[in-house]
Amino acid sequence: MTKIDRDGFTTNLGVLVATLGSAVGLGNIWKFPSLTGTNGGAGFLLVYLAATMLVGLPVMIAETMLGRTARADAVTSFEILAPRGQWEWKAIGWMGCAAALLIMAFYSEVAGWVYAYVFKAVSGEVSTVDPKVAGAAFAKLVSSPLTVLAWQWVVLAVTGGVIMCGVSKGIEAVTLRLVPLLFILLVALCVRSLTLDGAGRGLGFLFQPDFAKITPAVALTALGLAFFKLSLGMGTMLTYGSYFRDDQNIPWTATRVMLADLSVSLLAGVAIFPAVFTFGFEPAAGPSLVFMTIPAVFASMPGGTVFMTIFFLITAIASVGAILSLIEVPVAVLSERYGLGRKQAALATIAAIALLGVPASLSQSLMAHVAIFGLNPFDLFDFASSNVLLPLGGILICLFVGWVYGFDKTARSLSNHGELNNRGLIKAVFFLIRFIAPLSIAIVLLNGLKLI
Ligand code: PHE
Yes or no: domain 12-448 corresponds to CATH 3.40.50.2300? no
Q: 60 and 237 in contact (C-beta within 8 Å)? A: yes
What is the Å distance from ligand 1's center to 251 Cα? 19
Around Cβ 111, how many Cβ atoms within 10 Å?
A: 28
Report the pLDDT value the prediction gives residue 433, as an integer from 0 to 100. Answer: 98
Atom of ligand 1 nearest to the CA of 25: 12
Q: Atom 4 of ligand 1 has which residue's CA nearest to it?
A: 27
As to burial, measured by CB atoms within 10 angstroms (0-12 exposed, 13-18 middle, 19+ buried), residue 235 is buried
Ligand 1, pocket-test mutation among 35, 97, 231, 385, most atoms within 8 A of CB: 231
Q: What's the rounded Cα separation, in Å, for the pair 100 and 110?
A: 15
- Comparing 8-12, 33-37, 259-263, 355-359, the range with the smallest average pLDDT is 8-12
Given a cut of 80, is residue 165 above it in pLDDT? Answer: no
Indicate the pLDDT class of residue 1, thresholds 50, 70 and 90. Answer: very low
pLDDT at 297: 93
Enumerate residues lining ligand 1, CB below 6 A: 22-23, 25-28, 103, 228-229, 231, 234, 236, 322, 325-326
* 33/208 Cα distance (integer angstroms): 16
What is the distance in angstroms between the CA of the first residue and the CA of the last residue of the chain? 43
Which of 24, 237, 326 most suits a substitution to test ligand 1, by most atoms within 8 Å of the C-beta? Answer: 326
pLDDT at 20 over 70: yes
What's the CA-to-centroid distance between 38 and ligand 1, angstroms? 20
User: pLDDT at residue 63 above 90?
Assistant: yes
Mean per-residue pLDDT for 294-308?
93
In one letter, which amino acid is 203?
L
Q: How far is the CA of 130 from the CAs of 36, 261, 292, in angstroms?
A: 22, 31, 9
How remote is the CA of residue 27 from the centroid of ligand 1, in Å?
6
CA 64 to CA 329: how far, in whole Å?
13
Mean pLDDT of 117-121: 97
What span, in angstroms and rounded, lies between the C-alpha atoms of 253 and 246?
A: 13
Residue 31 CA: which ligand 1 atom is closest? 4
- For position 12, what pLDDT does the model report? 77
What per-residue confidence (pLDDT) applies to 167? 61
Q: Is the pLDDT of residue 128 over 50?
A: yes
Choose between 74 and 181: higher pLDDT: 74
Residue 9 pLDDT greater than 80, yes or no: no
SS3 413: helix
Q: How far is the CA of 151 from the centre of ligand 1 (A)?
A: 20
In this prediction, residue 171 carries a pLDDT of 64
Q: How far is the CA of 84 from the centre of ligand 1 (A)?
A: 32
Gap from CA of 25 to ligand 1 centroid (Å): 7
CA of 8 to the centre of ligand 1 (A): 20
Q: What is the mean pLDDT of the chain?
A: 93
* Between 38 and 163, the higher pLDDT residue: 38
User: Out of 7-16, 58-67, 99-108, 416-425, which region has the weakest mean confidence (pLDDT)?
Assistant: 7-16
What pLDDT is attached to residue 2?
A: 38
User: Which residue minimizes the CA distance to atom 2 of ligand 1?
Assistant: 23
8 A C-beta contact, residue 24 and residue 180: no
The single-letter DSSP state of residue 2 is P
| Over residues 321-335, mean pLDDT | 93
Give the helix, strand, coil percentages of the chain, each rounded to 5: 80, 0, 20
Write the pLDDT tens digit of every residue in 249-268.
Answer: 999 999 999 999 999 999 99
Taking the centre of ligand 1 as the mean of its atom positions, its distance from the CA of residue 48, in whole angstroms, is 15
Cβ-count burial of 237 within 10 angstroms (0-12 exposed, 13-18 middle, 19+ buried)? buried
- Per-residue pLDDT band at 225 (split at 50, 70, 90): very high
Taking residues 101-128, report their average pLDDT: 97
- How many helices, marked H, and strands, marked E, lie in the chain? 22, 0
- What residue spans define the domains of the chain? 12-448
Of 24, 325, 329, 390, the residue with max ligand 1 atoms within 8 A of its CB, to mutate for a pocket test, comes to: 325
Q: CA–CA separation, 16 vs 85, rounded Å?
A: 35
| Cα–Cα dist 426/406, whole Å | 12
Write the residue with the smallest CA distance to atom 9 of ligand 1.
231
What distance in angstroms lies between residue 263's CA and the mean position of ligand 1's atoms?
Answer: 16
| Higher pLDDT, residue 121 or 166 | 121
Query: Of 414, 406, 420, 390, nearest to 326 (Cα)?
Result: 390
pLDDT score at 14: 78
Minimal CA–CA distance to 318: which of 261, 272, 356?
261
Distance (Å, whole) CA 309 – CA 298: 10
Q: What is the mean pLDDT of residues 356-381?
A: 94
Q: Answer whether residue 215 shows pLDDT above 90.
A: yes
CB-based burial of residue 118 (10 Å sphere; 0-12 exposed, 13-18 middle, 19+ buried)? middle
Residue nearest atom 7 of ligand 1, based on CA coordinates: 231
- Asked if residue 430 lies in contact with residue 410, where contact means CB atoms within 8 angstroms, the answer is yes
Residue 290 pLDDT greater than 90, yes or no: yes
Which ligand 1 atom is nearest residue 319's CA?
Answer: 12
Determine the distance separating the centroid of ligand 1 and the alpha carbon of 260, expressed in angstroms.
14
Work out the number of other CB atoms within 10 angstroms of the CB of residue 83: 9
Q: Point out the ligand 1 atom lying closest to the alpha carbon of residue 23.
A: 1
Tally the residues of the chain.
Answer: 452
| pLDDT score recorded for residue 5 | 52
- pLDDT higher than threshold 60 for residue 3: no
Q: What is the pTM of this model?
A: 0.95
Confidence band for 112, pLDDT divided at 50, 70 and 90: very high
pLDDT for 271 equals 95
pLDDT at site 4: 45
Nearest to residue 155, comparing CAs of 332, 317, 376?
317
Residue 126, helix vs strand vs coil: coil
pLDDT tier, 394 (very low <50, low <70, confident <90, very high otherwise): very high
